[in-house]
Homo-oligomer: A and B are copies of this chain.
C-alpha cells in the first residue's frame, strides 16, 4: 500500500488531480476525479479529497493544493500576493479540516490594470524551477488565458484574456450557434481570420455576423465558420497582448489543440514560442511549494 511523504493536489474549477509523492520527488501514485470547485460545495471538500488520497496519508501528511480551491467560492480563501512578486508566496491558507494537513497556495493579483490569477502562479513557479533564470513572457492558454511577464525570478505583470470563455459563449449562445456547431476545423480559415483581426483589429465587430450570413447565402461549412470565429478572437487577443510578446522570448504552458493555436498565432507574428507540458510544470510548482513549506517549518 502506497504511503506518501506528501500529497500534491491541483484543484481547479472542473477537476481534482492528486499525486502521492516521496520526499525525493518520485511520483508514487496518482488519482483524479471530477470533483472540481464548480461541482461541489464547501462542506464537500474534505470528503472529496479523502476519497482520492485517504489510503496514502496519515493525519500529519502535508497536502499542498493549488487552483480555485483557494478562491472565495472554494474551500478556503487564500490571499493574493501583489505583483511584482515571486510566483510563490509563503502564506499558505489552511482550511479547517480535522485530520487533514492541507496547505493552499496563494494566488497573485495586479492592482492596475486589475487582474487576478489562481493556479497559474504554481505553474509559473514550476516552469521557473525547471528553467532557472528564465526571463520572458509565459502564455498559459485556457478559458481565461494568462500572459505573464517574468523577470529576475519574479512575476512583473500579467494580462488575462477571456478568449476561451468568449468563444464558448458566442458559439453556444448567439446566432452563430447555427453556424459553428460540430468538431470540424479549417486551418487556412483560422490563419486568414487571425491575420484579419491582427492587421485590422478595429474591424472585429463587423466580421462576426458574416459567419452567419455566409452560411445562409453561400453554404459556408461549419468547420470553416468555427475556425474563423476562433481566428478572429485569438487574433484580437494577440493584438491586445502585443506589449507582452513583442521582442520577448515566449513560453507556452500547455499541450493539445488550444496551445497549438497560440503557437501558430505567435509564429505568424514571427515569435517562435517554446512549449512546456502543463502537468509537469504544475507538479514542479507544487513541489517548490512543498519545499517552501518544509523550510518554513524548519526555519
Q: Mark A85-116, 1 if CB is under 8 A from B, else 0.
A: 00000000000000000000000011101111
Contact of A213 among B116, B170, B218 (CB under 8 A): B116
A181, CB-defined interface residue at 8 Å = no
Closest to A144 in B: B209
The DSSP consensus for interface residues of chain A is: helix
- The stretch that binds B, out of A20-28, A198-206, A282-290, is A198-206
A216 to B242 CA separation, bound complex (whole angstroms): 26
Kindly list chain B residues whose C-beta atoms are within 8 Å of the C-beta of A223: none
Separation of A172 and B174 alpha carbons in the complex (Å): 11
Interface residues of A in 198-231 (CB under 8 A from B): 201-210, 212-214, 216-218
Mark out the residues of chain A between 172 and 188 whose CB falls within 8 Å of any chain B CB in the assembled complex.
172-176
Which residues on B sit within 8 Å (CB–CB) of A72? 216
Q: Are A111 and B217 in contact (CB under 8 A)?
A: yes
What separation, in Å, do the CA atoms of A208 and B163 have in the docked complex? 10
Q: Known: A205-B233, A233-B205. Is A217-B169 also a contact (CB below 8 A)? A: no
Q: Which of B159, B166, B240 contacts A174 (CB 8 A)?
A: B166
B242 touches A202 (CB 8 A): yes
- A61 at interface, CB cutoff 8 A: no
**A209-B158 Cα distance, complex, nearest whole Å:** 12
With A116-B217, A210-B113, A240-B206 already in contact, the answer to whether A165 and B161 are too (CB < 8 A) is no
17 contacts between A and B (CB under 8 A): A110-B213, A113-B206, A114-B210, A114-B216, A114-B217, A116-B217, A159-B206, A161-B209, A162-B176, A166-B170, A166-B174, A168-B173, A173-B173, A202-B202, A205-B233, A205-B239, A205-B241
